[in-house]
Structure 1
C-alpha cells in the first residue's frame, strides 16, 4: 500500500478555499449513484438493469480496495494532507463510510424490487420455492459430483489455525455440535473463486441457486454425525494497492512479489449475512483482526458483482438491449481491406464500439504480414485475456521484423496478465520495454514503418482507449489513424523517450505528459481567455472521464470569470463546482451514463469563432484532467488537422455528447446531479452513433446526406 497521499491533485499553494471544490472520493460515489440509478431505469430491459446493479457492486469493491485502503493507510501513518476540499483523511473516511452505508442499502432495495420482476419473466434467483422434487434430485447429484470434491471443510481449533482468506474471498462458517459427545466445533468452507456464484437448475424456467445456498442445503453430506446449529456467509475485501519502490532493481520480479502481497493485504471490508450465527460471527471478527475495517450486514445479496453471471448466461434477447454489430468502415472496404492504402489516402478516425475494433487488429496484422514493413512499435497498457494484437506482434517478430512493445506493468489489476504477455512476447523475439519505474506509460500508440517507392513512410495509430478487444465492445473510444509525417516523427520521439529516456526537444502535433501536455492545454485556455476579454467568441468544450486537478480547475474558473463559455462532459469524478456566482457562472457540467461507457477524451477550443466551427482547435487524448495523468504518467494529446476527422470529432462525436438528453445528468453547485430534461424531442447520442456512419470512415459509397448533420440546438438533429 502506498504511503503517498492518494488525493494528490492539490497545487503547491495551500491557501485555496476548499468550498470551491468537490471532494474526489465523494464525487466518485456520486458517479456510482448514477450507475445505480440506471438499475432503476424502467426504460431499460430488465436484465440490463440487473447488469447495472452488478456493475455498481464491482465499482464499489474496487473503490474499497484502492481508495478507501489508501486513506486508511494515510491515517495509520499519520499523514494529514488535506484533500482538494480541505478534508483530512480521517474526515474523508467518516463521510465515505456514511455514504457507502447508504449505497449498500440502496443496492439491496433495488435488488428486492428487481427480483420479483425477474420472476415474472421466468427468471428466479435463489428461489428455493421453485425447486421441485426432480430439481432437488438434480441439485443433490450436482453437489455430490461437482462441488463436494472441490470444497474443503476446515475445522477451527488450536490444532487447525484459522485459514487465510484471500482478497474477494467468500466463505461459509458452520457452528456444529457433534452428536456423539455434544462437542461444539466450528468449521469453515472457502468457496473457490473458479466456482460459479450461481447454478442454473435444468428446466423450462430459469431457476438459479447461489453456490452458498447450495452448500448450505446439502451441508449434512459434508458433516455426517454433526448437528448444524447455525451458519453464515461472508466476503472479504483487502487492500489491493501496489507500492513499487523507485529503487527497485528488477521491475518484473518486484511486480510478481507485489501481486502476491496484494492477495494478502489488510482487510478493508467484511460483508456478512444479517442472520449470521452469533458464535460464528464472533470467531470471524476475532480471527480476521477487523480493526477499523467496514463491516456490512446484509439481509440480501452478498457480492453484487456475481449477478453478471446471470445476465451473461441468460439467452433472453427480449430482456436485453437490442443486439448491435459494429460497422467495419467503408473507407477501408473500398481499398479491399488495405489499411495502409486507406490511411495513406486520408486520415481516419474509428469510433468504438460503433465501429469495429477489428480495424485496429487488422492494422497490426497487416503490418505483420506485409513484406515491406520493417518495424512496429506499440505501447500496451491493457491488452485483455485473448489479445489478437499480441498475437499479431508475435507473428511480426517471427517474420523477422523489428518489433518493440512497451508493456506497462503498473496497469491496475492487469499486472499479472501483462507479465504473462511480456514473457510471451520476449520468447518470440519482441524487444519488450517496461518504461519508467515511477511513471505509468498510459499513452495508446502504435507506429508502423513501411518501405515504399518514395522512401520510408510511418503509419500511426493513436487511441483514447486500450488495445483491449473486449472493453472496445462497450467503451466509447477513438482510434486515430494517420500517415502525416509530422505525427510519425512525433511518435518516434515519444518511443525514444519511453524506451531510451531521450526527452524530445520539440514536437510538432503531439503533446506529451509529463513534459508539455499540461502546458499545451493551459496555452489553449489562456488563448480563449484573451479572446473573451477582447469581446470575441470564446468557448471550451471538453469530454473526459475525470477532473480532479486543482490547477486545471482554477484555469477553467479563470476562463469562466473572463466570460469564456465552458461546457464539460465528465463521466465520473468532477471536483470542479459549476455555477458558483463570480467563479464558475459560465461553466456547465454533465455526465453521460448509458448502454456504453463513455471513455474517450476530447478537448476543443473555439479559437475566435462560434462553436462548433472549422477553425476550432481540436485534440484527442489518452489523458484525463487529473494530477496523475498530467504529471505522473506518459500520456498523449494529439491535435487534429485533417478536415474530415476534425469535423467528425467536433461536429459529430463531441456535439452529440453535448446534445444528449436521454442519458445525461447535470451537475449543480451543491454537488447533486439531476437527469437532463429534453426541451424538445429527446436525443440519445448512443442511438445516434449506432444508426449513423462516421464521417471519416463512411467512404464514397455513402452519400453525404446519409449522416444527419447535428445542430447546436438541444435535442435537435437537422
Structure 2
C-alpha cells in the first residue's frame, strides 16, 4: 500500500495574523524612561562634574516641558472624557496616576543626586553653594550689601487676601511665599487653620486651643536679577542663589512685622493650548491670543520647599485649586536651570569634557562659491561634527549673488539673531524674489517667529504663515539661479532647524544638491504649500500629510513580502520617537516574517522589541550622549537595491497626519555611503547606548568581556570628521598648485 504524502505546512502570512492587545507601551511612560536615561548620565561617575550637572539641568528642563504639555494635555482630556483609552489600554485617569507617581520618583532621585553627590563633590572641587545661615561674617556682609544695592530696590512683595484675586504669577519662575503673623488691628479677612481645614496646627495654636491668624504675601523673583550671586572665596567659586539671599533678608520687606515663614515655590501652567484655526480670522492675532492664554492658563504643578508648613502648602493649594497629585515638595533649589550657568563658567575646564569642535567638510573649498561646490556633486554633512556654516554661507551668498533670482525657505525654529533670516531680508531688499514659510505655531517659539515674520515682511519678503490646521515642519531651502545653461535650483534638505546655535549641540544631517528631479519636486512641494493648493504628483519626494505615511508603510510591507519570498530583508532606522500604531504594527508584521529590524529611537518608543512570535527580530536602542540625537535616517535593503532616506518627520501621528513634512531619498553614492556608515555606527556603541527590553525598560550596554575596547558612537563620528579634514590638508600639502595669471574677459 502506497504511503500517503504528508501535507506541506504552509507558513502563515503575518499580514493576515491578529496582533496581541498588549503590544503598545504608553507614550507618557515611554517618555519618562527617556528622561531617566538622561538622569543616568548625571549619575555617571565617569563624566566630569560639570557635565553631570548639565545633564541634571537637562532633566529638569525636560520635566518642565513634559508637565506643561503632556500632563497639561492629560488633564484637559480628563475633563473631556475621563474614560478615553490610549493605545496601551490605559484610561486618562490611569495615565495621570501612573505618570504622577513616576514623576515624583524621578524628582526624588534628581534631588538626592544633587544633594548627596554632586553638590558635595563640586564643593570639593571649589564650586560651592553657600548657606548664608552658616557662612562667615565676611561672606554675609558682602551678600547683604549685594541685597541692598542690587536686589531690594528691584523686587517688591505683594500682600495676599481672600477678598482679592490671587496675583498672576509667571509660570516656571521662582517666587517666595511669606507667612506673617496677622496684626490685631488689621481689618479684612485673614487666613487661619480653621479656614484652611487643617487637621494639624502649630504648637502655639494647640496650646491656645483656637485658630491662629496669618497673613500671606508673595515676592516674585523675576528674571532681571541674576540667580547666581558670587560671594568672596579664597579660591574657586562660592555663590548664593537669589532666593536664598532674599529669604535671608526677607524681614526688610516687612518692617515691624513678624515673619513666621518664607517658602520658595514655583508653578507650572498648562501649555497644551492649541489655536482653533477655524475661528481665527488672523493667524498672528490668534497666536498672540494663545501666548496670552498660556500666561493665564491653569496651574498643573506646584513645587515648593520641602520644609514648608502645612499651613502654607494648604494656602497655596487652595488658591490654585490643586490636589495632592499636583504638589511636589523639593528638598533643594527649585528650578535646576541654574546648573546650566554653572556648566558655562570660565576657569573650570577640568570639570568639563574637552570640547569637540565642528570640522570643515574637506569637499567644501572656502575659496570658491557654494554654488560651484554643489555643482560638482551632492554633499552630505553630519552635524555637529561638521560645521553648519556652509548652509548659512549658501544663503548669504545667494542674498548678494546677482544671478540668484529667488530664495524659497521653510523656517520652523531659528536663533535669536539669525544670520539666515538677516540674509533673506538682505536678499529681498536687493530685489530678489524671497518667499519664507514661517511656522507661527512652533510651540514655545511662537513669539520669536511672529517677530521675525513682521521684520521680514517689512523688508519685502513674501511671508506665508503655514497651512491652516497643519504645522509646516519640513526643512528645505530652494535657491533659483540663472546660469549659462539655464535655470539651476540649489537646495538644502535637512533633519534639523535653520538654527546655527542648536546645530552645535544637535546631531543632524544636511543634504546639499542641485539634482534636477529633486529640484522639480521641491519647487512643486513649496508652491503647493504657499498656494494652499493640492500638490501635483511628486517624482521622488514624499510629503506629509499626503503621501509620506503611504510611502513608509509601502516600503515596510515590500520588505516583508521580500522576506516571505526568501530574499534577505532589512530595515534600519534612526528617529526621535516611534509612536504611530500603524507603523508599529507594520514593523511587527515585518518581524513576524523574519525581517531584521534595527531601530535607534532616542526618546519615546511605544513598540515592544524582542517579544516571541511578535518582534523577535526587532532591536531598539537609544543613544544618550554629549549631543542631542535629532537626525532621522531610514534604510531599506529593498532586495539589494538599497533605499536610503533622510526626513524631517518622526514616526508619530502628528508628523505623519498633522504636519507638513518631507521624506527625501539620498541618491548620490558618496552621500549614501557616508550616511549609511553614520547610521550603522550607532549600533556599535557600547558606552552610551541603551537597549530597550520588551517591558519598556532599558538596560545600558557595556563593553562586555574584559579587554574589549569601548566604542562611543559620537566620539567615533567626531574623530572621522577630524580625520577627513586632516587627510585633506595633508593631500593639499603634497600636491603642487600653480598660480595662474588672471586674464581679463
What TM-score, normalized to structure 1? 0.92
1:190 corresponds in structure 2 to 220
Identify the match of residue 359 of structure 1 among 390, 396, 399.
Answer: 390
1:227 corresponds in structure 2 to 258
Aligned length: 683
2:351 corresponds in structure 1 to 319
Identify the match of residue 274 of structure 2 among 237, 240, 243.
Answer: 243
Report which of the two structures shows the higher radius of gyration computed on alpha carbons: 2
2:670 corresponds in structure 1 to 644
Query: Is 2:718 aligned against 1:690?
Result: yes
Secondary structure of 1:497's counterpart equals helix
2:14 corresponds in structure 1 to none
| Aligned ranges 1:294-305 → 2 under 5 Å | 294-305=326-337
What's the offset of the Cα at 1:503?
Answer: 2.4
Structure 2 residue ranges without an equivalent (≥5): 1-17, 187-212, 733-745
1:407 corresponds in structure 2 to 438
| Aligned ranges 1:530-549 → 2 under 5 Å | 530-549=561-580
Query: Is 2:497 aligned against 1:494?
Result: no
1:340 corresponds in structure 2 to 371
- Are the structure 2 counterparts of residues 336 and 456 from structure 1 closer, same or farther at C-alpha, using a change threshold of 3 Å? same
Secondary structure of 2:86's counterpart equals coil
Secondary structure of 1:681's counterpart equals coil
Identify the match of residue 284 of structure 1 among 310, 316, 322.
Answer: 316
2:643 corresponds in structure 1 to 617
Q: Could you tell which deviates more after superposition, 316-325 or 456-465? A: 316-325
Q: Could you tell which deviates more after superposition, 310-319 or 251-260? A: 310-319
Query: Is 2:150 aligned against 1:136?
Result: no
- Are the structure 2 counterparts of residues 500 and 79 from structure 1 closer, same or farther at C-alpha, using a change threshold of 3 Å? farther
What's the offset of the Cα at 1:277?
Answer: 3.5
Secondary structure of 1:171's counterpart equals strand
Q: Determine if contact 1:197/1:309 at 8 Å carries over to the other structure.
A: no
Poorly superposed stretches of 4+, deviation over 4 Å: 158-161, 178-184, 694-704
| Aligned ranges 1:518-529 → 2 under 5 Å | 518-529=549-560
Distance 2:20 2:420 in 1: 48
Distance 2:643 2:151 in 1: 60
Q: CA RMSD in A?
A: 2.0
2:94 corresponds in structure 1 to 91
What's the offset of the Cα at 1:137?
Answer: 2.1
Identify the match of residue 628 of structure 1 among 636, 654, 675.
Answer: 654
Q: Determine if contact 1:126/1:213 at 8 Å carries over to the other structure.
A: no
Distance 1:695 1:323 in 2: 16
Query: Is 2:462 aligned against 1:431?
Result: yes
1:346-380 CA-partner distances (Å, limit 9, x unpaired): 10011111111111110110000111101000000
- Are the structure 2 counterparts of residues 534 and 120 from structure 1 closer, same or farther at C-alpha, using a change threshold of 3 Å? same
Identify the match of residue 38 of structure 1 among 32, 41, 58.
Answer: 41
Distance 1:193 1:641 in 2: 49
Query: Is 2:253 aligned against 1:253?
Result: no
Distance 1:303 1:450 in 2: 50
- Are the structure 2 counterparts of residues 275 and 150 from structure 1 closer, same or farther at C-alpha, using a change threshold of 3 Å? same
Distance 2:549 2:624 in 1: 27
What's the offset of the Cα at 1:697?
Answer: 8.4
Secondary structure of 1:618's counterpart equals strand
Identify the match of residue 486 of structure 2 among 436, 448, 455.
Answer: 455
Q: Determine if contact 1:644/1:695 at 8 Å carries over to the other structure.
A: no
Secondary structure of 2:718's counterpart equals helix
What's the offset of the Cα at 1:85?
Answer: 0.6
2:210 corresponds in structure 1 to none
Distance 1:178 1:22 in 2: 53
1:558 corresponds in structure 2 to 589
Distance 2:504 2:483 in 1: 34
2:207 corresponds in structure 1 to none
1:210 corresponds in structure 2 to 241
| Aligned ranges 1:82-121 → 2 under 5 Å | 82-112=85-115, 113-121=117-125
Distance 1:220 1:236 in 2: 24
What's the offset of the Cα at 1:564?
Answer: 0.5
Distance 1:341 1:129 in 2: 66
1:11 corresponds in structure 2 to none
- Are the structure 2 counterparts of residues 19 and 696 from structure 1 closer, same or farther at C-alpha, using a change threshold of 3 Å? farther
Query: Is 2:63 aligned against 1:60?
Result: yes
- Are the structure 2 counterparts of residues 184 and 557 from structure 1 closer, same or farther at C-alpha, using a change threshold of 3 Å? closer
Q: Determine if contact 2:158/2:218 at 8 Å carries over to the other structure.
A: yes
Query: Is 2:413 aligned against 1:382?
Result: yes
What's the offset of the Cα at 1:314?
Answer: 4.7
What's the offset of the Cα at 1:164?
Answer: 1.6
Q: Determine if contact 1:510/1:636 at 8 Å carries over to the other structure.
A: yes
2:693 corresponds in structure 1 to 668
